[in-house]
Structure 1
Amino acid sequence: MAASKQVIVIGAGIIGASVAWHLTRAGAQVTVIADSAPGGVATPNSFAWINASWGNPETYFRLRIRAMAEWKRLANDLPGLPLAWCGGLNWDLQAERLEAYADEHSAWGYGIERVGREQVARIEPNLAEPPDFALHIAEEGVAEPAATAKALLADAARQGARILSGTVTALAQSNGRITGVDTSHGLVAADEVVIAAGVGSPDIAATAGITLPIETPPGLIVHSRPYRKLLNGLVHAERLHMRQTAEGRIIAGSDFAGGDPGMDAEATARALFAVTKAALRGAEGLELDFHTIGYRPNPIDGFPIIGRAEGLDGLYVAVMHSGITLAPAVGLFAAREILEGERDALLAPYGLGRFAQ
C-alpha cells in the first residue's frame, strides 16, 4: 500500500531528481513539478565535487561517506551516469590546519595521502607551480551535475513518473495535512509532497506556515571553452579550485562553491580566469567561454534539512548546499521514510525541528 503512494516532488535539480528516481523505483506514483528545465537552477552551476572533506563534524562526515558509497550503487543501478572517481589534491589550508584535517579524517577512515612536490607533479603534471606539500584523496570524484539530474529524471519517466513544467504557487492543505499543490496549471493532488526546490524552497514552504532558514550566497565560477586534457582530477589550491569536465572545459572558482562575484561580475570572472590560466602549463590557447553565478540553498547552520515538517502531515523537505555529494543517499533515505516510515539514523541531526518554527 505504501508503495502506491502518490507523491509530488517539487524541483528538478540533483536532489529532486534523486528523490523522484528512488521513489519511482520503489513503486510510488511520482509527479515532478519544476519551473526550470530538468537539471534545475543551482545544479548546473555546481562545481560537482563528491567528497567527505574538511570542515565536518564526525556525524556529518559519516553521512557524506555513506553518500559517496551510494553514488557507486547508483552508478551500478543506472549505467552511463557521467561519474568519475578522479581523486583530488588539496592545499587550500594553512599548514597546521591541513595537518589537523588529515589527522582527524584519517582517523575516521578517510583515504588521505600526504604528498610532496614530486608526487603532486606526477598526479597533476600540468600544474605550473606544484606545492611542496598537499593532501591527495584518491576516492573523491565528480558527477557532471546537470547531465546526471537529467539522466535520473529521464529514467524515472521511463518507469512511469510524470515530469511537469510549471510553477508551484502554494501548498494545498486540508485538516492539518498537505494534500497537493496549487500550480500555474491548477491543483495537483497527492498523498505526500516533497520540497526539493533549492533556493525556491522557503517561499513554497511559507505558504503552509513553515519557515526554512536558508541563506543563498552567490558563487561565481568560470568555464573555459573545451580544451585538450590538462587536469586529471580536482585541484584545491589557495583561492583557486578547478577541475576539467567530461567535455574538456576547465571550470574554476576561488572556492569550490564559487567566490563572491563582486560589483562587476564580468571583471571578477576575467581576473579569475587569468589566474586559472596562469596556474596551468600548456594553457596558452585556453579561452574563457562564460561564467555562472549560482545561488546555493545553504541552511543557516551549514547542514542539510532533510525530513518531514513536524505538526503537518504529508510534507517532506530536502534542501541543502552539498547536493551533489548527498544526492543518492538523500534520495534513498527519503524514499524509505516517505514510503515505509523508516528514518535512517544518519539523518537524525538534520530534521527541520532543530530550528524554532
Structure 2
Amino acid sequence: MTAAKEVIVIGAGIIGASIAWHLTRAGAKVTVVAGSGAGATPNSFAWINASWGNPEVYFRLRIRSMAEWTRLANEVPGIPLQWCGGLCWDLPRPELEAYAAEHSAWGYGIERVDRAGAARIEPNLTELPDFALYVAEEGVAEPVAATQALLADAERRGARIVAGTTVTALVQANGRIAGVDTSGGRIAADEVVIAAGAGSPALAATAGIELPIEAPPGLIVHSRPYEKLLNGLVIGDRLHMRQTAEGRIIAGSDFGGADPGMDAAATARDLFAAMKAMLRGTDGLELDFHAIGYRPTPVDGFPIIGRAEGTSGVYVAVMHSGITLAPAVGLFAACEILDGERDPLLDPYGLARFTQ
C-alpha cells in the first residue's frame, strides 16, 4: 500500500464520505470537495435493506453492506444506526410470496405476518394488510448525521474537507487525471474519485467519460417532531414512511419519494394528509417541510463502481441505494484505489458494461 497516495473525493454525500473515511483510515492523503450533485443524501428515505426483485449477485452486495453498517457504526462515533425492522405489503400477495420464497432461500430473514401480526408490529396503523412481510434485520441510518460523522472522523484522522468550493473540471496531464479545477483553484492528486451523485455525469464529461445516469426527482414530506407512532419502516401499498431519530415522520409514495408533479407544494399536502390518515394519534401532527431529491440512477438500475477504462487516475462511485451500499462501497473502493485489489462483489458494476 502507498500510504502517501493523494486522493481527491468529489462529493460529500454518504458515498463520498464513506470512501473518504476508508481511504483516510488506510493511510491515504485525502481531500474531500463538494461536488455539483443534487443533494440525494439529505433527501433520502435512508432504508437499509436487501429487499426487492434484484438478482442474487446484487442481493449479496447489499447483504454484505448491511453487515458493514454494523462494523462502521462500531468504529465511527456518532453514527445513528437502528435495526428497527421493515413491514412490507406494497405488492400483490402472489408477488410478495414469490419474493419471500426467493429471498428466504438466499438467507434473508423474512417473516410472513397476518393482520394481527402487522398490528403487533405497528399498532398505530389505521389500515392493516391481510398479508405482509416483516424483516427484523432491516434498518435506517439517519443520512445527514451519518455523513457528518464520517466526514468529521475522517478530518480527525487527517483528511482535508474543502467547503464552499465547486469542482469545475477534471485536470488531465500526461494521459491521466492529475487533479481537479475548482472555483478556488487547482488541486493536484494521484487519483480522483467521482462520487457527486446526479452531478457526476457533467464532471466525468470534462474528461471525455460518459456516465449513463438518470436523476429522477422524488418528493418526501417531513412532519414536525412528534411523539413516537412508528416502530420501524412501513412499506405500504400506497405510502412508505418511517419516524426519524428526532421524531419526524417522513413519507413518500415509495422509498424514492413521490413524483412532485406540476405543483410540489400541493403534492406534499396531499401526501401528508394520506400519511396522517394511515396513523392513529395524529391530531397534533403538523407538516414541517417537503424536500425534493434527485436520485442518481444508472440506466440499468445498478451501481457504477470502479475505474473508467481508457482513463487512468479516476474512480467512479455513483448509485441509487447509496445509504444501503455506502459502507461496503467505501471499504471496497479504498482497497481497489490503494492496493489495486477489486472485491469480486463489485465485478458486475464496472462502467465497461455499458460499452460491451
TM-score (norm 1): 0.98
Q: Cα distance, 1:55 vs. partner?
A: 1.6
Q: Which residue of 2 aligns with 1:152?
A: 150
Correspondence list, 1:281-300, <5 A: 281-300=280-299
In structure 2, distance between residues paired with 1:292 and 1:55 = 27
| Counterpart AA for 2:217 | P
Q: Which residue of 1 aligns with 2:273?
A: 274
Correspondence list, 1:76-155, <5 A: 76-155=74-153
Q: Which residue of 2 aligns with 1:6?
A: 6
Q: Which residue of 2 aligns with 1:327?
A: 326
Q: Which residue of 2 aligns with 1:307?
A: 306
Correspondence list, 1:1-357, <5 A: 2-34=2-34, 41-165=39-163, 166-356=165-355
In structure 2, distance between residues paired with 1:346 and 1:101 = 22
Q: Cα distance, 1:40 vs. partner?
A: 7.7
For structure 1, which runs of at least 5 residues remain unmatched after alignment?
none
Q: Cα distance, 1:186 vs. partner?
A: 1.1
| Counterpart AA for 1:65 | I
In structure 2, distance between residues paired with 1:247 and 1:141 = 16
Question: RMSD value over aligned CA atoms?
Answer: 1.2
Q: Cα distance, 1:295 vs. partner?
A: 0.3
| Counterpart AA for 2:68 | E
CA contact (8 A) 1:48 1:324 kept: yes
Identity of aligned residues (%): 79
What SS is found at the alignment partner of 1:317? strand
What SS is found at the alignment partner of 1:203? helix
TM-score (norm 2): 0.98
Q: Cα distance, 1:2 vs. partner?
A: 1.6
| Counterpart AA for 1:142 | V
What SS is found at the alignment partner of 1:294? strand
In structure 1, distance between residues paired with 2:217 and 2:61 = 25
Q: Cα distance, 1:351 vs. partner?
A: 0.2
CA contact (8 A) 1:31 1:162 kept: yes
Deviation string 1:101-151 (CA, Å, 9 cap, x unpaired) is 000000000000001111111110100121111000000000000110010
CA contact (8 A) 1:11 1:40 kept: no
CA contact (8 A) 1:14 1:40 kept: no
In structure 1, distance between residues paired with 2:215 and 2:96 = 28
In structure 2, distance between residues paired with 1:291 and 1:51 = 24
Q: Cα distance, 1:80 vs. partner?
A: 2.9
Deviation string 1:3-29 (CA, Å, 9 cap, x unpaired) is 210000000000000000000000000
| Counterpart AA for 1:91 | W
What SS is found at the alignment partner of 1:243? strand
CA contact (8 A) 2:38 2:199 kept: no
| Counterpart AA for 2:252 | G
CA contact (8 A) 1:226 1:248 kept: yes
Equivalent pairs, count: 355
CA contact (8 A) 1:15 1:330 kept: yes
In structure 2, distance between residues paired with 1:329 and 1:211 = 24
CA contact (8 A) 1:15 1:327 kept: yes
